[in-house]
Amino acid sequence: MIDDETLDRQLRETVPYIDDDGFTARVMASLPAARPESRWLRAVILLGLALIGSGVACLIGAGQVVREGIIELATFPIWLLLAFAFGCGLVVGAFAVIFAIRKTPEVRDLTRLEF
Amino acid sequence: MELTDADLIARVLADDDQHAFGELVRRHQSSVRGLLRQLTRTDLALADDLAQEAFLRAYKNIRSFRGEARFSTWLYRIAYNCFREDARRRKELVGVDEEQWQAEQDPQTIDPGLRHDLMHALSLLPLNERTAVVLCCQNGLSHDEAARVLDIPLGTVKTNVLRGREKLKRTLAAWAPN
């Protein structure tokens, strides 16, 4: 009679690798559609916030403040305005990169690389 | 860099990434289909239908996978439940298509005569013993993992494996060529 070890080895060796042969494609075709991006919801929220912000600005007379601010900015030296624009660009760029990393799995996985 | 199962699952969860799920299917289709072929006594069409159903359920319920067990163990459990529900519905299991089964074996690794005898002996085992032997001895699950897949006590799994093994050894000893 064969021993346990031999039997287990023979059992493992009888496990065939079953070729995919279109199986994965059939499974993928049967999956429900991926969740649609809720872009309309984002658009509604952004539009709503913009409307609320505009309303509040009108109520507190922010138009006058903005006008005066622009006139004030015009008196600033050009290098200061350039530095301000550069700083704003850096901040916006940093947010864009962070957002892109979070949204892109390939890039996100690269951050887990160990050297 | 090869992504781990955990990475792929994270992608499915975060972005509903169906390509990542497709990769999981590609990785595990052979073992899940193999298990179901054993359970259905190598009825290939039924086994593949059940495997497809199992992967579909896995996709729909992937949020319930908490990572406590291996992903393959979780898949086996779903596949086994699909099989059990189907068997309950049918109240019968279909016969063996051994010719087709043998065509998929690797002829280099094991003697064809012994393979034939082993597969036949395995198909003759009662379902509970066959399932336990396939999971533990063929697919390398621990007794504990098999107990979770089959939703039965650990002691029952051990008993079924032991009994199944003994029966296989007896059967193979009787059929062994001189």
- Return residues 26-55 of A near B (CB < 8 Å): 26-28, 30-32, 34-35
Residue B79 tokens read as 């596949």
Interface with chain B: mutation pick from A10, A21, A111, A114, highest number of B CBs within 10 Å: A10
Q: pLDDT digit string (tens) for B29-55?
A: 999 998 898 888 767 899 999 999 999
Model ipTM over 0.85: no
What is the C-alpha separation between B56 and B87, in angstroms, rounded? Answer: 19
Nearest to B82 by CA among B45, B59, B43, B51: B51
Fold of B105-178: Arc Repressor Mutant, subunit A (1.10.10)
pTM over 0.80: no
What is the C-alpha separation between A23 and A21, in angstroms, rounded? Answer: 6
Per-residue DSSP letters for B32-55? HHHHHHHHTTS-HHHHHHHHHHHH
Fold of B1-97: Rna Polymerase Sigma Factor; Chain: A (1.10.1740)
Q: pLDDT digit string (tens) for A48-99?
A: 999 998 888 877 776 777 778 888 888 888 888 899 899 999 999 999 888 8
Give the type of residue at B79.
A
Taking the domains of chain A in order of start, what are their residue ranges?
A: 37-75, 77-115
Taking the domains of chain B in order of start, what are their residue ranges?
A: 1-97, 105-178
CB contact under 8 A, A17 and B106: yes
Q: Is the dihedral of CA B75, B77, B78, B82 positive or negative?
A: positive
